Amino acid sequence: MKLSASVIRILAFLGFFVFASPALQAQGNFDSPEGKTNRPDDTVNSFGARIAGTYLVIHQPSEGPTRILNLFADGNITGMQSVQFGGDVPGEGFSNQHGTWKSVGENKIVATVLDLDYTPSTGEFLGTAIAHYNLQFDNTLQTFTATAQGQIFSPGVDPLNPGDAKPFFEFSDNFQAKRVTVSN
């Protein structure tokens, strides 16, 4: 069966209309338990959209690691540290960090991140680290102060639910970060 060009144009128009029409789109529950929606247009003015960006932490090596943290409007966080490619000390050979954050007050978030730890000289997998961050932003949302506390668990232990397993290494850090902006 061969369709004429005008029939194809009509079907294309109707197809576009059907898929673009709000009345005919699937009706899903976009509302979260907190009464906020997860629709993109609702995030434009949200706290997450206002803090989304890349942040830099600069430390002298004796004071702790230099970090790059990325906060995403959807509640995800990633990071990397200057010491993660280091020596054979537990916690000094590890992957980038990946996790989630949530708002817990006026310009404040908490985050949980995970990374994979290994011995740099051999590549031996040592386990999984979990870290909990508390970040307090200034009123301009351009800088924040933070604390981080974490633990490294042996392979096979779920760091999100370690049960009776004890970490083989613990760490903490305090730091300040500033937003990375585009320079002219």
How big is the chain by its Cα radius of gyration, in Å? 23
Mean pLDDT to the nearest integer, 91-110: 92
The more confidently predicted of residues 81 and 26 is 81
pLDDT exceeds cutoff 50 at 66: yes
Task: Give me the residue spans of the domains in the chain.
Answer: 7-40, 52-179
- Residue 133 in contact with residue 110, Cβ under 8 Å? yes
CB atoms within 10 A of CB 139: 8
> How does DSSP assign 82-143, residue by residue?
TTTB--SSTTSBB--EEEEEEEEETTEEEEEEEEEEE-TTT--EEEEEEEEEEEEE-TTSSE
What CATH number is given for 52-179 in this structure? 2.40.128
pLDDT at 180: 97
Q: What's the pLDDT score for residue 19?
A: 39
86: amino acid identity, one letter: G
pTM score over 0.75: no
- Residue 61 vs residue 104, higher pLDDT: 104
pLDDT at 120: 84
Token pair listed for 130? 């979990």
Average of per-residue pLDDT across 89-106: 87
Q: What is the mean pLDDT of the chain?
A: 80
> Quick one: pLDDT band at residue 91, thresholds 50, 70, 90?
low
Percentage of the chain exceeding pLDDT 70: 72
